[in-house]
């Protein structure tokens, strides 16, 4: 019963969805303020999702039906599990299901099924989107791998998130060291690209290829993708905060208010990057990630090994 409560309400599905929805709204609100608009009300994200579930589902003719329907559901399910692993560690101080390498691999599943679902729809624009998404995946996953390796070196080979949190509470957050800062920068760009926010939104480019990977999705199936993305809006910043910026206080109230402040700051950074950059082309994205951030990450690894 308790497990079911943890899974569905706190700290699982409903809790994460509410926080993630608020986070997404906050990011939209920031963007609106950048553009001198008022911005949507705080419940806008939830209305968007609800609307999708009230619409009918359209399946494109000639699509591979089972894969087309299963892809959003599996994406949702994998993201939900990732969320649960993270929040159980963070809010309940419990090691659950897997370590940070497992989390890294679970985070690949959403991208994988977005690509497979898009390819199964047989729409050329969806295929263009899928092709772009694979290349994006190759760029952002690489630098996140490096930032995780930096964490692993800094924590002396500890893979459990709970231990990494404790390690930071005892010895100060990793963000303070030089290699930790580099790792954080890489992780920030990872969030930006993973959530498909400008300048890394080439796979979904609305004006250009009409939402690319999502072009054929409608109704509840699109809704599941939207829910997964909302959950990621909560869990990705939480993951990065837990890895790099755990503040050394044990009082839960202070800990959570510190989390809220850091969460808002990360969202602010993301929307600043979003609003001062245009959409990049795939080659520019690959070049930026592989030839700029990747060597930076290798430098970070060297610093981390030297103990800086």
Which residues from 157-186 bind another protein, rule CB under 8 A?
A: 157-160
What does DSSP assign to residue 72?
A: H
Choices 15-23, 35-43, 59-67, 177-185; region in contact with another protein by CB under 8 A: 59-67
What minimum distance in Å lies between the beta carbon of 116 and another protein? 7
Is 212 in contact with 121 (CB distance < 8 Å)? no
What minimum distance in Å lies between the beta carbon of 173 and another protein? 21
Measured CA to CA, the distance from residue 118 to residue 125 in angstroms comes to 9
167-192 b/e (C-beta count within 10 Å ≥ 16 → b): bbeeeebbbebebbebbbbbbbbbbb
Helix (H) or strand (E) holding 242: helix 219-244
Burial of 142 by CB count in 10 Å (0-12 exposed, 13-18 middle, 19+ buried)?
middle
Q: Which is nearer to another protein, 36 or 307 (CB)?
A: 307
Q: Which residues contact 123 (CB under 8 A, 6 or more apart)?
A: 60, 215, 216
Measured CA to CA, the distance from residue 52 to residue 30 in angstroms comes to 24
Strands (E) across 133-260 are located at: none
Q: Which is nearer to another protein, 32 or 116 (CB)?
A: 116
Which of residues 19, 22, 26, 74 is near another protein by CB under 8 A? 74
What minimum distance in Å lies between the beta carbon of 276 and another protein? 25
Q: Which is nearer to another protein, 107 or 188 (CB)?
A: 107
Q: Is 94 among the residues that bind another protein (CB under 8 A)?
A: no
Which of residues 41, 54, 207, 251 is near another protein by CB under 8 A? 54
Q: What residues from 118 to 137 belong to the interface with another protein (CB under 8 A)?
A: 119-125, 127-128, 130-131, 134-135, 137
Q: Which residues contact 231 (CB under 8 A, 6 or more apart)?
A: 16, 17, 20, 79, 80, 83
Is 108 in contact with 141 (CB distance < 8 Å)? yes
Q: What residues from 264 to 303 belong to the interface with another protein (CB under 8 A)?
A: 282-283, 286-287, 290-291, 298, 301-302
What minimum distance in Å lies between the beta carbon of 190 and another protein? 13
Helix (H) or strand (E) holding 66: helix 65-91
What minimum distance in Å lies between the beta carbon of 109 and another protein? 6
Which of residues 18, 73, 169, 269 is near another protein by CB under 8 A? 73
């Amino acid at each position: 019963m308790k497990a079911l409560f943890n899974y569905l309400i706190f700290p699982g599905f409903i809790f994460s969805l509410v926080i993630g929805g608020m986070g997404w709204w906050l990011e939209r609100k920031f963007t609106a303020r950048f553009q001198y608009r008022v911005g949507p009300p705080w419940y806008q994200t939830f209305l968007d999702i609800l609307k999708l579930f009230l619409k009918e589902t359209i399946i494109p003719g000639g699509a591979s039906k089972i894969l087309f329907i299963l892809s959003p559901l599996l994406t949702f399910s994998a993201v939900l599990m990732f969320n649960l692993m993270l929040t159980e560690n963070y809010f309940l101080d419990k090691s659950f299901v897997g370590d940070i390498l497992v989390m890294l691999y679970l985070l690949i599943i959403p991208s994988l099924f977005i690509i497979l679902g898009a390819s199964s729809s047989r729409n050329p624009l969806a295929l263009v989107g899928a092709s772009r998404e694979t290349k994006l995946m190759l760029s952002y996953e690489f630098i996140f791998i490096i930032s995780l390796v930096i964490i692993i070196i800094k924590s002396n080979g500890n893979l459990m998130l709970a231990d990494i949190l404790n390690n930071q509470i005892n010895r100060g957050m990793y963000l303070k060291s030089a290699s930790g800062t580099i790792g954080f920068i890489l992780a920030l760009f990872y969030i930006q690209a993973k959530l498909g926010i400008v300048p890394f939104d080439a796979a979904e480019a609305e004006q250009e290829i009409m939402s690319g990977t999502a072009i054929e999705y409608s109704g509840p199936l699109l809704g599941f993708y939207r829910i997964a993305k909302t959950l990621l809006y909560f869990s990705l910043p939480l993951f990065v905060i837990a890895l790099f910026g755990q503040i050394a206080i044990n009082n839960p109230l202070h800990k959570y208010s510190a989390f809220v402040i850091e969460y808002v700051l990360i969202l602010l950074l993301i929307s600043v990057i979003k609003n001062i950059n245009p959409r990049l082309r795939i080659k520019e994205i690959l070049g930026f990630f592989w030839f700029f951030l990747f060597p930076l990450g290798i430098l970070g690894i060297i610093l981390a090994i030297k103990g800086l």
